[in-house]
Amino acid sequence: MKKTILLTALVLNGLLSSAQTNDEKNIKLFYKKALTEAKCYTWLEYLSNDIGARLSGSKGAAEAVEYTKRQLESLGLDKVYLQEVMVPHWVRGEKETAYILDGKVKTNVPICALGASIATPKTGLTAEVIEVQGIKELNELGADKVKGKIVFYNRPMNPENIETFTSYGACVDQRYAGAKEAAKLGAVGSIVRSMGLRLDDFPHTGNQSYGDLPKEQYIPTAAISTNGAELLSKSLKANPSLKFYFKQSCETLPDVLSHNVIGELTGSVNPDNIMVVGGHLDSWDLADGSHDDGAGVVQSMEVIRILKNLNYKPKNTIRVVLFMNEENGGKGGAKYEEVSKQKNENHIFALESDSGGFSPRGFSIEADDANLKKIQGFKDFFEPYLVHSFTIGHAGSDISHLTSKAIVKAGLKPDSQRYFDYHHAANDKFDAINKRELELGAATMTSLVYLIDQTGIELPKAN
């Protein structure tokens, strides 16, 4: 009896070892394919340099839909199609201007309107400035000190955090809700320090919301570059009565019909189980959005290209989804989930790349303990490629909408140290992308998709 048990154990161990060796070989092949024959860099070059900025509702966004659809069709996937979605159409208008007015001295500073902001009067807006470190301090000041002024939010990103997204999350509320809160207290405008760790002259845009304010209470709002913020803060200390001038001509037009772009490989064993890999096709309008999120788009396309090129037959249906309108509305992700519910689709896994095209370091995971432990058990496969971080955290804005009964979500985590040098700014261009780092990210994503497809997810235990 003991010999039988021992023999069985040896056989099982041998099978497990064989399966693990096969996985290691396949993952090595994914990296080889990505580093020697990937198309993601070429796709991104076209998206960035030939199409350019892709803000929802724009000509660039429409061209990007058609281009990526054609590229997916060329891969010979089982299905490629467009999914209609209505999206906001906000336009920036003429380039913004701003200056600090200290007595008769005018000092120009770089600004850019925030998404969904209204315009200033045609001649611009001039007012005294009140500087605050955030919304809490603003509310403590009260309407008497705020009314009739421009509120200047100047809380910087904390440089102490190694994970820079932690710093971003700790101060982005002043960008998103700053205008609304300032308007409640009677401010005539607001400006916010750009979300970035570097001192430079690139203002960073981003979406903001007036919430449930009536339209007559809307005030114009803009981001000021970090150098501009430092100068304004220093100038206010010397002369609290100085004034600030800015002019912008942005407006919100009627919603526009756009599309999510979807391609898939049908599962050979469990075709009704869907695994999504994706990024968002839209970008802000100041640049071509190569890191945010052109990189995530082409990496997701590369995942399915590698698998198809290797004639891989997935157990589950693998679907690449290029979401529209993540930046200023999230309509693409919401529409995808709406249609998924209507079709009663079952998503078991979703992976998003929306943190730039830098060297991959791991994954941010939304899962229960059992599935987190399962994915962390894959570490040995990734360590040869310097991918080591498998932690609980936000996986991605677009896939956050997915609500299947049992689903695991993950977000690619590239090195984040330089991401906020480019995020939502005019320097987020193709020349900021490193080809090898982009390809390594695609290979890392392919490897996780493969491992989940092979092993499935841990289902909740029945009560």
Q: Is the dihedral of CA 119, 121, 123, 124 positive or negative?
A: negative
Neighbours of 437 (CB within 10 A): 16
> Could you give the CA distance from residue 94 to residue 97 in angstroms, rounded to a whole number?
9
Main-chain dihedrals φ then ψ at residue 409, nearest 5 degrees: -120, 145
326 noted as active-site residue: yes
**Catalytic annotation, pick one of 264, 302, 326, 439:** 326
Task: State the alpha helices, DSSP H only, in 197-348.
Answer: 226-238, 295-309, 331-342
Angstrom CA distances, 223 to 70, 93, 238, 424, stand at 37, 16, 22, 11
Which string of DSSP letters, residue by residue, matches 228-278?
HHHHHHHHHHH-TT-EEEEE---EEEEEEEEEEEEEEE--SSEEEEEEEEE
Is the CA virtual torsion 321, 326, 332, 338 positive or negative? Answer: positive
What are 245's two structure tokens? 């001038």
Q: Residue 86: CB partners within 8 Å, gap ≥ 6?
A: 255, 256, 257, 258, 331
- Residue 161: count other Cβ atoms within 10 Å of its Cβ: 15
Amino acid at 294: G
Angle subtended at Cα 324 by Cα 421 and Cα 62, rounded to the nearest 5 degrees: 100
Phi/psi at 131 (5° precision): -95, 135
Which residues are marked as active site?
Answer: 326
